[in-house]
Amino acid sequence: DQQVKQNSPSLSVQEGRISILNCDYTNSMFDYFLWYKKYPAEGPTFLISISSIKDKNEDGRFTVFLNKSAKHLSLHIVPSQPGDSAVYFCAAMSNSGGSNYKLTFGKGTLLTVNP
């Protein structure tokens, strides 16, 4: 049972436009969410996170939105740059007692930003 789902395996956008990457989760115990970026032949690197007490977190060109009622989060990149081309992974965890804090990842979305 896949608890974190990224239903779009790939996304292609033009440089300068907005990239929107989506993620859905099924476990209502998840209360902390993260986005990772992965270039080929490298390990994933942390990008941005959001706690369930917020519905938005912004860091420069990157904004993560969380809709708890829909169990949905999204990553917006504005403006998109060719260097943003990578695989983006959504991850979730529960910080509540007994959860043991394990990160659960989605399968990733390959973003291609065309010059």
CA dihedral 55→50→32→91, nearest 10 degrees, is 110
In this structure, what are the phi and psi dihedrals at residue 15, rounded to the nearest 5 degrees?
-50, 135
Stretch that binds another protein, among 19-27, 30-38, 59-67, 71-79 (CB under 8 A): 30-38
The answer to whether residue 108 forms part of the interface with another protein (CB under 8 A) is yes
Residue found under tokens 């983006």:
88
Q: How far apart (Å, rounded) are the C-alpha atoms in residues 57 and 86?
A: 21
**CB of 89 vs another protein, minimal distance in Å:** 6
Work out whether 84 is an interface residue with another protein (CB under 8 A): no
| Residues found near another protein in the complex (CB under 8 A) | 6, 32, 34, 36, 41-46, 49, 51, 89, 91, 93, 95, 100-108
